[in-house]
Structure 1
C-alpha cells in the first residue's frame, strides 16, 4: 500500500516473472514479453548483457563437449541486477531463451522446468515447413505470446521459494 494525498492506495505487487526474451543464434531479438511495462527497456538490456555470460559459458561448455561431456541447455543464473535475476537456456540450434525473475530464491529445478516449457512452446511455434530457421520471428506472433503468458502464469503460481 502507498499513501497518495493522505489516502492509502493499494499498489499491485510486481510479478515474480518479470520478462521472457528470445534471441536468435545471430543475437537478433525475436521476442520480448515484459510483465512490468515500465521496465521493458531494462529487460531488453538484461537480455543483451546476459549474452556475455552465455557466450563465456557456451565457449567453456563447447570445450568440455569436445571431451565427450554433454552440456545442459540451462545456463543457470547469468546476472543479478537490482532486484531481478536473469536465467538462460540455449537450444541446440543456438537460440537463447532468457527469463527475468524477481530476486527471490527459487529452486533451480523450477526455473529449469519453466525454461524447458518455454523452449517447447517456442519449438511448437516455429516448427513448420515454411518457417525461416534463421528468422523465425514471423511465427512468434499473438498466438505464441498467449502461450508464453499461459506458461508463465501457470509457473508463477507453482514456483516454490527455497
Structure 2
C-alpha cells in the first residue's frame, strides 16, 4: 500500500489479488461490508444500505470494550466496477451528521473517490479523500492525522484482503 498527502487529500493505492468486479461488489453490498470495513477489532453493524447515487450506507462500529460510534456514507456517483464517490461523516443513530467522537476539530464531511482498475486478475484501488466545507482549522487537523489515517486504512485494507481471499 502506498499512502501520501496531495494538498488536503489523503491518497491511498493498494493492489488486491482479486478481479475488479468482486472488489467492487464487496464495496457495494451490506453483507460484504460488514465483514471487512472499519477499524481492526471493531464489529460493524449495518443500519441501512441504499447503494445508488443519492443513497446511503449507515452503520455503527463497536470496539471490543463496548464503545460504539455511528457513521454514514452518502453516495454521489457510482460507475459499476470502476468508481464510487461518496461523502463520509460521523452520525448519530438516526443518521444525522455529528462531530467526530475524538475531536471537535475533525471535519464534518470527507469526500471520497474510489477508483478500481484491473490488470491480469489483480485490482488496483486508489482512494482519495479530503475535507469539504471545512474551516482552515479542520483542514489542518485532517492533514495532521495522516499517519493515523494511513495506519487505519492499512489495517482496514488488510481485512479486505483477507476477506477477498475467502469469498
In the superposition, the TM-score normalised over structure 2's length comes to: 0.33
In the superposition, the TM-score normalised over structure 1's length comes to: 0.34
More strand by share: 2
Q: Which has the higher contact order (CA 8 A, sep 6+)?
A: 2
Bigger Rg, which one: 1
More helix by share: 1
